[in-house]
Amino acid sequence: MQPEASPVLKKKTKGLVAILEKGKKFESMVETTHGCNVSDPLVAGNVIALSLNVDSTIKGKERSTMSEMCVYKVKDGKIITEEFFVQLTLQ
């Protein structure tokens, strides 16, 4: 599932202020974070990828594990696009 399919986050987010607001909105939904780990980055040219695993309980939902592949494209030292591939598993 990609973030575009998420009912709680916008389909596209542009600009630093909007990206930070998206992060705050996600954090406000989390009741408890039970664990989190991030892989070392894999760099290929102007693309950076890493895996993120989060064990959490979202407010009003069951505890779940989110496994995510995060892919960022960089230009002139700044991230210009981000793409997330997410698998959610209920515990």
pLDDT cut 70: percent of the chain above it: 87
3-state SS class at 27: helix
Q: 44-65: per-residue pLDDT in tens?
A: 999 999 999 999 999 999 999 9
For 81, residues 6+ apart whose C-beta sits below 8 A from its C-beta are 72, 73
CATH numbers and ranges of domains, the chain: 3-90 (3.10.450.50)
Per-residue pLDDT tens listing for the chain (91 residues) = 334 445 445 467 777 788 888 889 988 999 999 999 999 999 999 999 999 999 999 999 999 999 999 999 999 998 888 888 988 888 7
Mean pLDDT, the chain, whole residue set:
85
